[in-house]
């Protein structure tokens, strides 16, 4: 008897099917473009959180510069398309390849360090990336306001509010694709090495494996997928903006993964989707005056999403380090052992 609920695979298939069908199934909340857009963004972040989970939860690499690769995919795709360097789908592939190369270079340099130093180095690289897009290097990156995607150069199926559902479906497909790839990687023999690396690097070295190469592999895969998701984000947002390169994004990913549970795949996805969804809703509600009646001392912090997030984060880290999925499995364990002891 495993910890996984035996119907969980079917449950998952049903949910995914429902998510696919919803936009065209009569009038439900998901038939409106507003929610479709919100969820599409949430899907992208869920997938992004999963790529971060590969790094942090599975391989034990605490990187603070993951946003760099997300932004790389975002900006490169935009630049290629806008300047008619490639046709849109080649642009996407090219940006993924270039982002992988970037991940390889950054990883090769950063992985000469470990642990906390590694975290700081990746932070520095991430910030360098942020600076590059912010300062409009070579006139390509558009500075603080970013660059708007030239909508005429992409398939029209993705343009316009009425076509939001196509974006929604595309985002969902990206999420599923990412999930399948990462599932395949983590279940493969390389994936086993990643997990072993997280727990005890020395043991892996003693086995004669070059730990740095495996870490680099994990780093590049995560970076490449982040690049893909950057392209997806470009389609969703219609533009490339510097805020996607900020360390805040990476920190948000860290939060998502911790809240959802670092060691499980679905935990990271759920954490990402929930976080993204809730933050967007919070922002909408605040703008619509949810906290208007409260004194400034209370409403001020509450209207900043970071406040609640920070508090929840602290509480989770201190008292429930396994996150959502950790708590779920703990309950499962308890109910299973109860079943066993009562059936004696």
DSSP output for 87-113: -HHHHHHHHHHHHHHHHHHHHHHHTTS
DSSP state of 239: E
Per DSSP, the three-state class of 293 is coil
Which of 251, 278, 320, 327 is in the footprint of another protein by CB under 8 A? 251
DSSP result, 244-289: GGSHHHHHHHHHHHHHH-TT-HHHHHHHHHHHHHHHHHHHHHHHTT
We find the least distance from the C-beta atom of residue 311 to another protein, in angstroms, to be 6
Specify which residues 239 forms β-bridges with.
148
DSSP string covering 38-85: HHHHHHHHHHHHHHHHIIIIIT----S-THHHHHHHHHHHHHHHHTTS
Q: Does 276 bind another protein (CB under 8 A)?
A: no
Distances (CA, A) of 288 to 39, 285, 292, 307: 20, 5, 9, 19
Binding span for another protein by CB under 8 A among 39-47, 81-89, 117-125, 150-158:
117-125
Cα–Cα distance, 97 to 117 (Å, whole number): 27
Site string for another protein, 123-162 (x = CB under 8 A): xxx-xx--xx--x---------------------------
Least Å distance, CB 116 to another protein, is: 5
User: Of 307 and 340, which CB lies nearer to another protein in the complex structure?
Assistant: 307
Q: Which two tokens stand for residue 44?
A: 């992208």
Site string for another protein, 161-200 (x = CB under 8 A): ----------------------------------------
Draw the binding track, 285-314, toward another protein (x: CB under 8 A; -: no contact). -----------xx-xxxxxxxxx-xxx-xx
Beta strands in 145-190 (DSSP E): 147-148
In whole angstroms, the minimum distance from the beta carbon of 106 to another protein comes to 8
Which of 44, 81, 182, 254 is close enough to bind another protein by CB under 8 A?
A: 254
Interacting residues toward another protein by CB under 8 A: 62, 109-110, 112-114, 116-117, 119-121, 123-125, 127-128, 131-132, 135, 247, 251, 254-255, 258, 296-297, 299-307, 309-311, 313-314, 317-318, 321
């Amino acid at each position: 008897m495993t910890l996984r609920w035996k119907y969980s695979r079917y449950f998952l298939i049903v949910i995914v099917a429902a998510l696919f069908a919803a936009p065209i199934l009569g009038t439900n909340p998901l038939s409106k473009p507003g929610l479709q857009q919100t969820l599409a963004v949430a899907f992208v972040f869920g997938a992004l959180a999963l790529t971060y989970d590969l790094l942090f939860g599975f391989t034990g690499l605490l990187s603070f510069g993951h946003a760099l690769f997300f932004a790389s995919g975002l900006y490169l795709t935009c630049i290629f398309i806008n300047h008619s360097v490639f046709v849109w789908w080649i642009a996407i592939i090219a940006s993924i390849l270039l982002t992988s190369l970037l991940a390889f270079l950054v990883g090769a340099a950063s992985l000469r360090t470990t642990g906390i130093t590694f975290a700081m180095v990746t932070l520095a690289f991430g910030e360098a990336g942020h600076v590059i897009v912010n300062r409009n290097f070579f006139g390509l990156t558009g500075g603080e306001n970013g660059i708007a995607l030239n909508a005429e150069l992409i398939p029209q199926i993705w343009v316009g509010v009425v076509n939001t559902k196509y974006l929604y479906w595309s985002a969902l497909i990206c999420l599923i694709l990412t999930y399948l790839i990462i599932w395949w990687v983590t279940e493969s023999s390389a994936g086993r090495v990643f997990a072993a690396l997280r727990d005890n690097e020395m043991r892996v070295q003693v086995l004669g494996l070059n730990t740095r190469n495996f870490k680099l592999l994990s780093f590049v895969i995560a970076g490449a997928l982040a690049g893909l998701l950057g392209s997806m984000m470009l389609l969703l947002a219609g533009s490339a903006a510097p805020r996607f390169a900020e360390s805040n994004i990476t920190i948000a990913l860290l939060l998502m993964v911790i809240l959802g549970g670092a060691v499980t795949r679905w935990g990271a996805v759920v954490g990402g989707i929930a976080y993204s969804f809730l933050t967007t809703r919070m922002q909408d509600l605040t703008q619509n005056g949810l906290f208007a009646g409260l004194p400034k001392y209370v409403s001020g912090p509450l209207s900043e999403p970071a406040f609640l997030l920070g508090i929840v984060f602290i509480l989770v880290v201190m008292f429930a380090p396994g996150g959502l999925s950790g708590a779920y499995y703990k309950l499962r364990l308890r109910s299973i052992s109860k079943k066993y002891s009562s059936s004696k």
